[in-house]
Amino acid sequence: MHVQVGIAGAGPAGLMLARLLHLQGISSVILESRTRPYVETRIRAGLLEQGSVDLINETGMGERMRREYLPHDGLEFIFGGKRHRFDMQELTGRRVYIYGQQEAVKDMIAVNLAAGVPIHFEAKVSAFEGLDTGKPSIRYMHEGSEKTLTCDYIAGCDGFHGVSRATFAAGDRRDYDRVYPFGWLGILVDAPPSHHELLYCHHERGFALFTLRSSTVSRLYLQVEPDEDEKNWSDDRIWNELRVRLGNIDGLKVSEGKITQRTMVEMRSYVTEPMRHERLFLAGDSAHIVPPTGAKGMNLAISDVYVLSKAFTAFYKTGTTALFDAYSDTCLRRVWGAQHFSWWMTSMLHTMPDASAFDLKRQIAELQTVCGSRAGRKLLAENYAGLPIEM
């Protein structure tokens, strides 16, 4: 079997790329190692930038999203016993949207399949061959036997733990890595959100984030030890800790309910450069990950494949490879902007395990500097709402 573009991974990157290519008449096949129900229920991101929402709409995948998403015009920081609001709409003219990643993934799978784009689930990619020839191929296991897909190009959209990145010889790429000395415990709760906007709380016992999925489902995160076992966190312990960190600040009450899911999240910043090796292009988490504090990972995955789709379109329409050559640098400019922002949000809001009394005072001064002037609030809001894609 031969297609123009073989895609490893049916996450937001792979699914959006397949759709963009289909709309340009370019054929692709998606190979996904997991089952469809697994991919459609994997709880991850919640916050989409305006640019991501626009692209989902423009590609005809936003019908349900437009009915169900929750637009947000601002966010709050809480520290030193006070609440500080960023009026994003006023500061940037933009808003962000809460819509669960698994819901967006469900929509993208449905639209791709309805358009006839093949998605093979339980098809685990094991290797790429002939990347430096005109006819690369993907080896994968499907329905108990090893299969081969030949293509013109390959898009490695198989996430941080996929195989694509590993096919670059160590000498052909450079990795930039930072692991943070804490993790997040994420919980999903059957309870109305404590507040209609996101609350990012800095507390000397650790960071806490109050976010949501709907008017009846809250999503909460707590800074915990990096190797914490979620079983050590009973419901009582979680609620006590959330009450302490959020406090009873300006009338805010932690809205409690049944915890339906709890997971540990690793906090890491990572980039590999370049994002292209011969006929293989990396996109999304396979090339870079950010700690979730800035809510950028899925948004970056979507902007990478938007840039990549332009390169494929130019190539198949005119034969030019100029945008292929520019792909890595174009994406990395935005990736590093988001890396900086995610690192900044993470280091500004979390409590470092080895923080001295000086460090804690300095951190409060930094938070006050950002929240205390329009210039500070605007810098944060511009990044939070999303940096532009510069082609």
Name the residues annotated as catalytic: 72, 200, 292, 296, 384
Angle at 189 between CA 208 and CA 231, to 5 degrees: 75
34 binds ligand RFL (CB under 6 A): yes
291 binds ligand RFL (CB under 6 A): no
SS3 127: strand
Cβ contact 191:232 at 8 Å: no
350 binds ligand PHB (CB under 6 A): no
338 binds ligand RFL (CB under 6 A): no
187 binds ligand RFL (CB under 6 A): no
**Which range touches ligand RFL (CB under 6 A), out of 25-33, 268-276, 317-325, 345-353?**
25-33
Nearest Cα neighbor of 275 from 167, 140, 130, 161 is 167
269 binds ligand PHB (CB under 6 A): no
Q: In angstroms, rounded to a whole number, what is the distance separating the alpha carbons of residues 11 and 13?
A: 5
**Which range touches ligand PHB (CB under 6 A), out of 45-53, 108-116, 155-163, 332-340?**
45-53
Spacing of C-alpha 5 from chain mean position: 23
Cβ contact 280:156 at 8 Å: yes
Contact with ligand RFL (CB under 6 A) among 28, 33, 194, 346: 33
Cβ contact 164:285 at 8 Å: no
Residue numbers 110-139 binding ligand RFL by CB under 6 A: 124-125
Query: How is residue 294 annotated by DSSP?
Result: G
Q: Which residues pair with 71 in a beta bridge?
A: 97
Q: How far is the CB of 10 from ligand RFL (least distance, A)?
A: 5
Nearer to ligand RFL, 204 or 229 (CB): 229
Query: How is residue 42 annotated by DSSP?
Result: -
Cβ contact 104:89 at 8 Å: no
Nearest Cα neighbor of 49 from 21, 75, 31, 29 is 75
SS3 65: helix
**Which range touches ligand PHB (CB under 6 A), out of 44-52, 157-165, 166-174, 276-284?**
44-52
Q: State the number of binding residues for ligand RFL (CB under 6 A).
A: 35
Nearer to ligand PHB, 219 or 245 (CB): 219
* Residue 68 neighbours by CB under 8 Å, 6+ apart: 99, 103, 214
* Residue 82 neighbours by CB under 8 Å, 6+ apart: 249, 250
47 binds ligand PHB (CB under 6 A): yes
Contact with ligand RFL (CB under 6 A) among 55, 149, 222, 298: 298
295 binds ligand RFL (CB under 6 A): yes
33 binds ligand PHB (CB under 6 A): no
Q: How far is the CB of 106 from ligand RFL (least distance, A)?
A: 13
Using CB under 6 A as the criterion, which residues of the chain lie in contact with ligand RFL when the complex forms?
Answer: 8-14, 31-34, 39, 44-47, 101, 124-125, 157-159, 162-163, 186, 265, 284-285, 292, 295-299, 301
